[in-house]
Chains A and B, each alone.
Chain A
Amino acid sequence: MSSNDVLLGLVVVTALGFDFTNGFHDTGNAMATSIATGALPPRVAVAISGVLNLVGAFLSFSVAATIASGLVQTHLVTLTVVFAGLVGGILWNLATWYLGIPSSSSHALIGGVVGSTIAAAGGHAVQWHGLVSKVILPAVLSPVIAGGIAIVGTYLVYRITDKVVERVRGRGFRIGQIGSASMVSLAHGTNDAQKTMGIITLALIANGTLHSAAKAPYWVIISCAIAISLGTYIGGWRVIRALGKGLVEIESPQGMAAESSSAAVILLSSFFGYSLSTTHVATGSILGSGVGKKGAEVRWSVAGRMATAWVLTLPSAGIVGALAYYAAHGIGGVTGVVVIFVVLVLAAAGFYLRSRKGAVTASNVNTEWTGSVAPPAIPATAAA
């Protein structure tokens, strides 16, 4: 086994690790509203979402190194660059998950890879035009469009059903909500699992294992599909809680309007070749469903916190990616990558242990929002 094989192996493992964080970070995009309204029990919701992500990952095979092509000069990308980029993406995902902020996993990944590419080859290796037109502009527009559609949808469903008996309305929309949330899960699997498939393919190309126009090998598709669906099933309860309870007090008609808007915008955008962030779309939609309902409480401070994180995602993941590259490159060779890998594992363990304090779980995800992700402590008797 050559040192290059070790390097490639670490990159693949790290990429699958990223895919896993992508899964649990984004469970809330599809399921937060269904969990918040009680349309689905939390455990069932994440299980459905996990399965649909798995199915979604197999639905589409247009996989190439798409995530990087058009954003960076792919011939300048080495295995260490890909690895450092993934480190940036994972650490940003873990930090935002810990804080309960639904930030974009795609942006974290792109930011990390762009940052490590700049560190390795300089600013000219980045295709800035592609970055602005394919990543930044869609990121600014998509939550606004999704939010607008959700406002219209929410307004319409409340107007149309204002005389329907509440019990019937609630039950009907809970069913509609499950259907529309399932569509979002499916679209998420199709979109996001592909991003990691693209990254692993890019690593295989950088390693010379595959030629530059190759498609993702089957084992890559299968392992990415499994990683993202396992991550989804684990459930990012902190983010689910922030989206479902923190942003808007949500009812099932709003939930259905929000998820329908998300599904429509995500599917249409990928139809037109924009691979946008499901997170931005879902957050915009949920916010819109709050604006569209008369008298609904929208916590703009929570929304503002999320928007700030979105702006910071690309540069922050980029800086971490660049630092990871400098460190790995400075130590040199496989040793450098192994050292950074160990640091990454320790950091991930640290975030996990920190999160156990004031943990958000399936049993307390819906507790009344009191201004923080960590739910208020429940007396032991009540919690059981």
Chain B
Amino acid sequence: MNSWINLTALWKIIVIGLLAGAGLPAVFAIGLRALNPGAQAQTAAGVDADGNEISSAPTVTGGVAGIAAATLCFAIVLAGIGWGIYSIVHNS
């Protein structure tokens, strides 16, 4: 650490920032994918013969395991948000 820049804080901001700022959206994305794996399910329910999406396609096609995985993912994201709010309040 020198007097111009706090390198310890800098790398922590980068690493934790990546985990929270890019990791949480990725976990959220995994949750969405667990809910709706697409591809094979899509041909069954979400898409007509020409490959166009049918507007009544079900949101959840991932089954029970998918719902469980998605719940876990969304819980992680919510925990991340909670930690963020805690850090604002605690910081004061």
Where the two chains meet, the residues of A that have a C-beta atom closer than 8 Å to any C-beta of B are 56, 59-62, 129, 132-133, 137, 141, 145-146, 148-150, 152-153, 156-157, 160-161, 163-169, 171-173, 176, 179-180, 183, 186-187, 190, 253, 256-257, 260-265, 267-274
- For residue B49, CB closer than 8 A to chain A, the reply is no
A to B contact number (C-beta, < 8 Å): 148
Given contacts A56-B88, A167-B53, A260-B21, contact A132 B32 (CB under 8 A): no
Q: Which residue of A lies closest to B18 (CB)?
A: A149
Q: Are B29 and A267 in contact (CB under 8 A)?
A: no
Q: Is the CB of A263 within 8 A of B84?
A: yes
Residues of B1-37 at the interface with A, using a CB-CB cut-off of 8 Å, are 3-6, 9-10, 12-14, 16-18, 20-22, 24-26, 28-30, 32-33, 35-37
Q: In the bound complex, what is the Cα–Cα distance between A286 and B40 (angstroms)? A: 33
Shortest distance from the beta carbon of B26 to any chain A beta carbon, whole Å: 4
Decide if the interface of chain B is mainly helix, strand, loop or mixed.
helix
- 12 of the cross-chain contacts (CB-CB < 8 Å) are A59-B88, A59-B92, A129-B3, A137-B5, A153-B25, A156-B25, A165-B53, A168-B35, A171-B59, A183-B81, A253-B29, A272-B9
- Interface of B toward A, CB cutoff 8 Å: 3-6, 9-10, 12-14, 16-18, 20-22, 24-26, 28-30, 32-33, 35-39, 42, 46-47, 53, 55, 57, 59, 77, 81, 84-85, 87-89, 91-92
Contact between chains at B55 and A167 (CB < 8 Å): yes
Report the minimal beta-carbon distance from B70 to chain A, rounded to whole angstroms: 10
Cα A136 to Cα B73 with chains together (Å): 38
The minimal Cβ–Cβ distance linking B14 to chain A, given in whole angstroms, is 6
Q: A149, B36: Cβ atoms under 8 Å?
A: no
On chain A, the residues within 8 Å of B33 by CB distance are 160-161, 163-164
